[in-house]
Structures are given as structure tokens and as C-alpha cells.
Amino acid sequence: MSDSRTDESLPVAGPAVVAFARSWLRVVARTSYVPGGRARARGLLERLTRRLLAALLAEPFDAAAGYGVGVELVRARISSPLALGNTIALLNGRLLGDLELADRVHRERLGELVGQLAAGFGEGIRSRARNDAEDLHRAERDVWRRQQRQLQDQIQHVLLHEPLTGLPNRAALAARLSEVLAGATGTERIGVCVIDLERFSAVNDSVGPAEGDRLLRAVGDQLRRLASTDDTFLAHLGGDEFAFVVERTSNADDVVKLVDRALRALPNPCRIGGHDIVVGAKAGIVERLAAGADPTELLRAADVALGWAKKDPHAQWAVFEPARNAVDVARHELTNAMPAALAAGEFTLAYQPLVRLRDRTVVGVEALARWSHPVFGPVSPSQFIPLAERTALIMPLGRHLLERACVQAASWQSAVGLGGELADPTPRQPMVSVNLAAAQLREPGLPAIVAAILDRTGLPAHRLQLEITENAILEPDQSTMRPLHALAELGVRLAIDDFGTGYSNLTYLHTMPVHTIKLAAAFLADLDRARAERSAARMVPHLIALGHDLRMEITAEGVESAAQADLLTALNCDIGQGHVLGRPMPPERIGELLAAGGRVDW
């Protein structure tokens, strides 16, 4: 079989292997006398665990190692069907978790290894029986044959059932699906749903595995009652996951109804470990034409839908929709493409004028991230910034954009070439306003990073403004207030972005070192219309007055019409930003605008 040198010398996961082998010994010692003493058996099982682990990690993957392990178990006289059953249950239930390999690839590999292990185990038994049988009389041989057949059946049962609930397992479900799909005709439809208990691992941890097992058995018993028709097949996929295959459906609703019944049938409340526990579950459903469907794909689709249901706090189940999946896939691809795009310099900045309304002068620009992907084309920052925020990429990306914006702003200053610094920004000394993601604000060392960038680029601190969305500071606490104060001490201007879209408490405002409030575009929507009386626009004069009371500057975003610009000017709003005052544009165009005196008209 496989090369035993690699088995022994595998450097990974030593303690986990030893601990796993110890559990393995425990479950087989429970079922059969272990010949040769426990120490020898433990040594053997450690070696077999390493061998399985090596096979799991090997590239390319080869399930043959599982076969060898099965043969060796029998050779070591660990050969009762129960020992095999417990071994399979332990491998399926714990191995990947213990080794921290519980992803789909390794789950699939383990499934194949376990199948091979059982096959090797069966062959080990058969060859032992053959050897023994040669010495026997014909009558005795018949007895042997019968016993072999029984053993074969037992092995088959063990292979296709979850020991805990006695229900068909994942392999059995896959076999059943293949069979049904192969026999499907023209318009026949099929449904699959995966049901996953909520908070099961928490329950398991708090009451212990024995009680957890009892709960799973109770759930299995209830669900079994729903699978009594020929068209409904129930499987226990392992852990706290169950699945139904429903044949001859007419639409997804048939499966939804079954799911509803299944969720109602959960043994609730369930008395476990002396407590009454309410067991919840969520389900993922897929239902489609049977012709052309593939078992793996169906299960994967049900899993994807289950993921959607889990993400939605109000949903009990979700039905797989290919279109929605396409959005997930695209999102996933974009996320994966971002690190390389950052390295390749694909992220750039466009700049949008910030116009002082009373004299129509450009006093600064907002830096807005742009990404043109070579294949996907232009991607909106409203799309990729949240994706970057969900991964750690927002940190290097944010830093990159901040540095770029500062370099750019410093170059506008030197191009115009002016001696001393003025206190207020002007077209000759414009400020640049850079958006900060909430995660960046909480990054330890942000003030030091900003200080270093200012130092490197030579941009005076007061010409950098950092925009923080209202939502990032909804509940001002130490983790947000400390960096805000440190940044303010550097002399950097701080702006609250999209003000009015969150639910920030106005009373916090005066305790914050904020220079500018950027009113969200939504406030302006009806500003120039008669309906203003009943809309958010009627807040605008009050917000401007409030900001001025707090000695803050007010910027209005989304100024799209001359009428809006006029009204805002009349209301004493300090700065305007929007399409009518200038769209986001490449830095060269901003340079030209500034060089020409930085006046805009509307």
C-alpha cells in the first residue's frame, strides 16, 4: 500500500493525532477484546491515524490508504462489525474537527477514505475466512459462508447508516439520489432539503455529548415519521444535519411543506440534562427537474440555500435560486481578485470638488476609490469597499488610498507653488477629504500611520480631512474616541460622513473633535420642491444652525440642481458637493480646475 516512511515522519498535528488515537482505542476496546495489549494497540492506531492524515493532505489525493488501514485493523484482530461501525462514526464525527480540516474538500476526501477503509476491512475478513475455511469440512464451510454473508450485510449496513440514529447516512443519500436521477424521465422533478439544528454545538457543550446524542436520536425519531411514504427518503448526514430527498415534486412548495412539518415535529421543548431546551432548526431547499441534475450539485445547492437561511434572522428556510447564487459567486470572485488588484495598482482615486458656496470656490476635493477590473470592468466602491471591509484587505487598501490622496494633494500645492501655509484651505492650498472605513478607525496605530504618511508626503495635517461614517461612531466608546482625539491632535480635520442616515445621538456631537458634518444627500432630495414641508428637507435649516452652534462646518452632499445650490447658499451652508458643482474626475482635471482659479458656476 502506501509508503510507511511518509506516514511515520509526518510532522503535523502530533498532539491531535495522539488524542484522536486514544479516543479510537476507547471506542474499539468497548466493542471487542484488544489482543496484544492496549499499548501496542494504541501505537497501531496512532500509526493508522497518521496514515489517514497523510492521505487526507496528500496531493494528488488517493483513497487507497483507507483500504490499507481497513486491512490492518482486521490483521490486528480489531475485526468486529461494531468496531468498524464505531471507527467510522469516530472518523466521520471527529477526525476533521480535531485536525482543524473541516472544509468541504477534506470532508469529501474523508468520505472516500472511510469507504475504502470499510472495503479493506471486508476484504481482510474475507481473506482471513478463506485461510481458515481451507482447513474446514464442507459443512463447516457452509456455516462460515453464512456467517460471511451476515458480516457482509452488517458491513453494508454500517457503511450506509449513521450509527447514532440508525438512519441512512450521507453515502446512502448520495446512492439513493443517483439511483432516482438515473431513472428520472422527462418532466419528473425532485427536491432535496438539508435541515440543520441551531445552536446544537452550544447545547452539546453545555450538557455533554451523551445528552447531545440523545437529542439527535430524538430528532431522528421524529423526522423518521415524516419519511414514511415511498417518495420521501430521510438521511442523517452526520452531526446535527439531516436531509430529505423528495421524489416526484410538482414545485418547491412541496418541499417547503415537508420542511414546515419537520420543523414543527422537532421534539420541543426537549428535556436534556435536567433543562427544557427549545431546539430550533433551519433548512435549505432545492427543487428542480430531475433530468440533468447531479447528486453532488443538488446537495451543494441545498447547502447554499441553508447558508442563506442561516444568515437571515427571520427565515426558517430558504429555497435555492440560481440567480442569487450567481450574485454570491460574483461577490466571491471579486473578493478573491482584490489582493492581486491592489498589488497591481488597479485601485485609483477620482476627486470630486468641495465648493465653498458663498464665493463658489473649490477649497478641496473628496477622494473616491475607483477600480476597473480587467475582466469585470468598472466596479463601484459601494460594492468593493464593503467586500474589502469583510476581509482584512480594507487595511492595506485604505492605507494605499490614503497615501495616494496625500501625495496628490501635496502635488497640487507645489504645482501652484505658494510660500506660507494659510489657516483655511483655498484653491491654492486645497484640502483632500479621504474616506475611512470603520475597521480602519479601530486599527491600533492608525494615528501613527496617518502621521507617517503626512510626514512622507509633506502634506500639512490641516489639509487632510478624514471622513468617518456616522455609523462607525454610533456609540462613541474608548475604541473610537481615542483615535479620533489622537487624529485631531495631529491637526487632521475630521468629518462625519452621511450624517442623518444613521441614528446618531446629537448630544454626543459636541463631545467629539469633529470639524465638519456632511449632510447625507437624502436631505436634499426635496429641498427645492414644494413638498419640502413634509420631507427630510425641512430639517436642513435646523441642522445647519445646530452645526454652526457647535462651531462645525456643514457640507451638503448630492447637490444636483442650481436651485438646491442657491437654497443652501441662502441657508448659510458652508460647502456643497454634487453633480451640479462638479463630478468625480481624474486628478489632472482637478489640477487644471485649481490652476484656473478654482471657481465653479451653477
Question: What does the binding site for ligand C2E look like in residue numbers (CB under 6 A)?
Answer: 352, 368-369, 380-382, 385, 401, 435-437, 497-498, 521, 558-560, 578-579, 584
Least distance (Å) between residue 87 CB and ligand C2E: 52
502 forms part of the interface with Ca ion (CB under 5 A):
no
Are the C-beta atoms of residues 500 and 539 closer than 8 Å to each other?
A: yes
Least distance (Å) between residue 579 CB and ligand C2E: 4
435 forms part of the interface with Ca ion (CB under 5 A):
yes
Least distance (Å) between residue 369 CB and ligand C2E: 4
Residues 142-148: contacts with CB under 8 Å, at least 24 apart: none
Are the C-beta atoms of residues 35 and 77 closer than 8 Å to each other?
A: yes
The residue type of 559 is V
Residue 166's binding partner among Ca ion, ligand C2E, none (Cβ under 5 to 8 angstroms by kind) is none
Q: Where are the alpha helices (DSSP H) in 294-345?
A: 295-311, 322-343
Q: Among residues 252 and 437, whose Cβ is nearest to ligand C2E?
A: 437
Alpha-carbon distance of 498 to 521, in angstroms, equals 8
Question: Of 452-481, which residues contact Ca ion (CB under 5 A)?
Answer: 467
Question: Of 180-239, which residues contact Ca ion (CB under 5 A)?
Answer: none
Are the C-beta atoms of residues 12 and 53 closer than 8 Å to each other?
A: yes
Question: Of 232-271, which residues contact Ca ion (CB under 5 A)?
Answer: none
Here the cell at position 178 is 443517483
Alpha-carbon distance of 279 to 131, in angstroms, equals 52
Q: Among residues 247 and 574, whose Cβ is nearest to ligand C2E?
A: 574
Sign of the torsion angle spanned by Cα atoms 140, 145, 148, 149: negative
Chosen residue from 428, 498, 508, 522 binding Ca ion by CB under 5 A? 498
Residue 500: which of 480, 463, 481, 525 has the closest Cα? 525
Least distance (Å) between residue 446 CB and ligand C2E: 13
Least distance (Å) between residue 458 CB and ligand C2E: 21
Q: Among residues 216 and 367, whose Cβ is nearest to ligand C2E?
A: 367
Q: Which residues 6+ apart lie within 8 Å of 139 measured at CB?
A: none
Least distance (Å) between residue 393 CB and ligand C2E: 12
Q: Among residues 84 and 410, whose Cβ is nearest to ligand C2E?
A: 410
What is the CB neighbour count within 10 angstroms for residue 132?
12
Residue whose Cβ sits closest to ligand C2E? 578
| 3-class SS of residue 406 | helix
Residue 480's binding partner among ligand C2E, Ca ion, none (Cβ under 5 to 8 angstroms by kind) is none
Here the cell at position 13 is 498535528
Least distance (Å) between residue 401 CB and ligand C2E: 5
Q: Among residues 389 and 498, whose Cβ is nearest to Ca ion?
A: 498
Q: Among residues 21 and 388, whose Cβ is nearest to ligand C2E?
A: 388
Least distance (Å) between residue 578 CB and ligand C2E: 3
Chosen residue from 46, 254, 497, 528 binding Ca ion by CB under 5 A? 497
Q: Is 214 left (phi over 0), alpha (psi -120 to 50) or beta?
A: alpha
Pairing of the two strands 377-379 and 361-373? antiparallel
Sign of the torsion angle spanned by Cα atoms 59, 62, 66, 69: negative
560 forms part of the interface with Ca ion (CB under 5 A):
no
Centroid of chain to Cα 32:
44
User: Which chain residues interact with Ca ion by CB under 5 A?
Assistant: 435, 467, 497-498
